[in-house]
Amino acid sequence: QRGGGGGGGSGAAAAAGKVKVKARSAEQYAGEIYSGSSGAMQTAARGGGKTGDFLSEHAMIEFRVAAVQGRSYQLEPLPRPTPKACPQLACTFKAVRRQVCETLQLLDRAELRGVVAALSKRGSSSRGGTTSHLLSLQGLAGRCPTVLWSLVREFDGDVEGGVEALRREVQDGAAVES
């Protein structure tokens, strides 16, 4: 899917096919988003903590944001490498001089709803009293690319609209349960 429509080529699948993607639950992704455990600073620190690592990770955040805003990305669901493997998505977008391909777990709408529900149960992580900043385009680009690209795919590039739709679904489900 490029910019919300069209088909992908086999280049991304071939490049991404060798990456092992570990399946994670909605609650695990919500914890990751809430705590920032795989955010830019932590990822850079795991890479050695050099200045270049921090700059590279912050640049990747900006490249993801620019790709979504400019609708200049290619999303390609990949075949499962084994029957028990989680669904995977190859996300290709432009960095400075080259295309970058991230291979991530593909979350469906129910799993995305689970992430939003789990975050809403945790409460605010800011003085503003909401978790909205965590589920913004910029927040997800830095904290959880898996949720970002799954939202982009599920909601045709409209991350904010997708988050709002999922919040309504979570609220409607909570109202039905009570």
Mind listing the pLDDT tens digit for each residue in 27-41?
999 998 988 755 555
Q: Is 39 left (phi over 0), alpha (psi -120 to 50) or beta?
A: beta
* Contact present, 24 and 38 (Cβ < 8 Å): no
Encoded tokens for 44: 């850079």
Mind listing the pLDDT tens digit for each residue in 63-102?
999 999 999 999 999 999 889 999 999 999 998 889 999 9
* Contact present, 40 and 123 (Cβ < 8 Å): no
Cα angle at 155 between 154 and 160, to 5 degrees? 125
Using the 8-state DSSP alphabet, how is residue 94 labeled?
A: E
Encoded tokens for 163: 């988050």
- Rounded to two decimals, the pTM is 0.79
